[in-house]
Amino acid sequence: MLPKKYLLLIPGITLALVLYTLSQDLNNIISIELLGYSKSPISTAMIAVLIGIALGNTFKIREGFLVGLDFTQKYILKLGIICLGIQLKPFEFLKFSTVAIPLIIVCIITVLIVIKLLIKKLKISTKMAYLISIGSTVCGTTAIIATAPIINANKGEVAYAIANMTVFGIISMLIYPYFANIYFHGDPMYVGLFLGTAIHETSQVAAAGLIYDQQFNSPETLNIATVTKLTRNTFLVIMIPLFAYLYNRGKAKKKYSLLDIFPYFILGFLALIIFRNVGDQIFLNESSQELWQNLITKTKNTAKICLSMAMGAVGLLINLKDLKLMGYKPFLVGFIAMITVGFVSIIAMQSFTKLFLF
């Protein structure tokens, strides 16, 4: 028999799981059956948060669900982020990391500076600026929901930042493949690097790469874009502790310690990256390789399920009235961030490739 405190978690966690299942089924219907893609270009997590918002603002969530929903958006979320580490294979991008990594760093720094200047002019909250910054520069929704508890962002701020990533990420996902083909004259390396650095979400990058592949018959572009985006995702390990430090410095005065705010689940994320790469070197024969690939696939699916459940929980607990109070200014910042990261990606790429020929 489980202790009572664990039993109290079950209704909320179950509700989040049901919401994930509904979102996944709806995603398959829209993306695969209606649009005809073999792989969905739409994030299940995005659908989960949108359905959650709709349900949460239509019906009143009973008290019995709140404990489990809060647990889901805090701890199941962290488990999902840890599991994401299994999909990263650093050895795959060594052949072009001399261009990709400096390019990512330049994009991140530039967008952070631009947003820092914008918040002084537009006077949006520091928390909102941090969420939009990390979402635009690193890995979209995942970065936002991972950073939110570190800086004590409220549900309305999280929802608004996620809305930014959803709207502008989808716009760039649909436009950039065609723009990049024209601008870069169909060069798969340039196009892949651009898509991997200029689009917010991993799923959106994969979708843009898939669109490009299907339209212009370039599977290499899809691979480069995906690996570049996964490389960019690893900067979450640096950015979350950095934002935690920047936000909390001066608040705790003499008692302040970086160890007190360090997101230790990031260590689990790093451990999964190492585990994946060690396993790739150990399990080489046919029988063990099949088992190893099955484990990788199941861990990836666990990450997707956990993150989508967390997003659904976030959506259910969001009050749209809070969003109205924030006005249009954060969306303006998000739009400028999208344009900036795309423009800087192009400029930096052209500059670096003069130094690093590939």
More confident residue, 325 or 286: 286
CA dihedral over 313, 317, 319, 323, signed as positive or negative: negative
Instruction: Over range 322-340, report the average pLDDT.
Output: 81
User: Tokens 């398959």 sit at which residue?
Assistant: 28
Instruction: Over range 310-330, report the average pLDDT.
Output: 77
Per-residue pLDDT band for 184 (boundaries 50, 70, 90) equals very high
Whether the pLDDT of residue 96 is over 60: the answer is no
What is residue 40's predicted lDDT score, i.e. its pLDDT? 66
What is the SS3 assignment for the chain?
CCCHHHHCCHHHHHHHHHHHHHHHHHHHHHHHHHCCCCCCCCCHHHHHHHHHHHHHHHCCCCHHHHHHHHHHHHHHHHHHHHHHHHHCCHHHHCCCHHHHHHHHHHHHHHHHHHHHHHHHHHCCCHHHHHHHHHHHHHHHHHHHHHHCCCCCCCHHHHHHHHHHHHHHHHHHHHHHHHHHHHHCCCCHHHHHHHHHHHCCCHHHHHHHHHHHHHHHCCHHHHHHHHHHHHHHHCCHHHHHHHHHHHHHCCCCHHHCCHHHHCCCHHHHHHHHHHHHHHHHHHCCCHHHHHHHHHHHHHHHHHHHHHHHHHHHHHHHCCCHHHHHCCCCHHHHHHHHHHHHHHHHHHHHHHHHHHHCCC
What is residue 88's predicted lDDT score, i.e. its pLDDT? 67
Whether the pLDDT of residue 45 is over 70: the answer is yes
Whether the pLDDT of residue 181 is over 70: the answer is yes
- Rounded to an integer, what is the distance from CA 237 to the centroid of its chain? 13
Q: Name which of 57-66, 267-276, 348-357 the model is least confident about.
A: 348-357
Q: Is residue 257 within 8 Å of residue 69, measured between CB atoms?
A: no
Give me the chain's average pLDDT, please.
81
Q: Is residue 329 within 8 Å of residue 123, measured between CB atoms?
A: yes
Cα dihedral 69→74→78→81 (10° resolution):
70
What is residue 274's predicted lDDT score, i.e. its pLDDT? 85
What is residue 65's predicted lDDT score, i.e. its pLDDT? 93
Q: Is residue 182 within 8 Å of residue 153, measured between CB atoms?
A: no
Whether the pLDDT of residue 217 is over 50: the answer is yes
Separation of alpha carbons 118 and 120, rounded Å = 5
Instruction: Over range 196-223, report the average pLDDT.
Output: 81
Whether the pLDDT of residue 77 is over 70: the answer is yes
Q: 333: which residues sit within 8 A by CB, 6+ positions away?
A: 115, 118, 119, 122, 124, 128, 129, 132, 164
What is residue 258's predicted lDDT score, i.e. its pLDDT? 55
Query: For the stretch 313-343, what's the b/e string if a residue is b when 16 or more beta carbons lie within 10 angstroms of its beta carbon?
Result: bbbbbbeeeebeebeebbbebbebbbebbbe
Instruction: Over range 31-56, report the average pLDDT.
Output: 77
What is residue 69's predicted lDDT score, i.e. its pLDDT? 92
Instruction: Over range 120-136, report the average pLDDT.
Output: 85
Tell me the per-residue pLDDT of 248-280, one tens digit each, with 9 for 90 and over: 775 654 454 556 556 677 788 778 888 988 898
Q: Is residue 292 within 8 Å of residue 283, measured between CB atoms?
A: yes
What is residue 256's predicted lDDT score, i.e. its pLDDT? 46
**HSE-CB for 252 with a 13 A CA cutoff:** 13
User: Tokens 């969530």 sit at which residue?
Assistant: 61
Nearest one of 181, 137, 128, 90 to 328, comparing CA atoms? 128
pTM for the model? 0.68
Nearest one of 13, 111, 126 to 67, comparing CA atoms? 13
Tell me the per-residue pLDDT of 146-176, one tens digit each, with 9 for 90 and over: 788 888 888 778 888 888 887 788 788 878 9
Whether the pLDDT of residue 117 is over 80: the answer is yes
Whether the pLDDT of residue 39 is over 90: the answer is no
What is residue 108's predicted lDDT score, i.e. its pLDDT? 87
Nearest one of 246, 42, 76 to 145, comparing CA atoms? 76
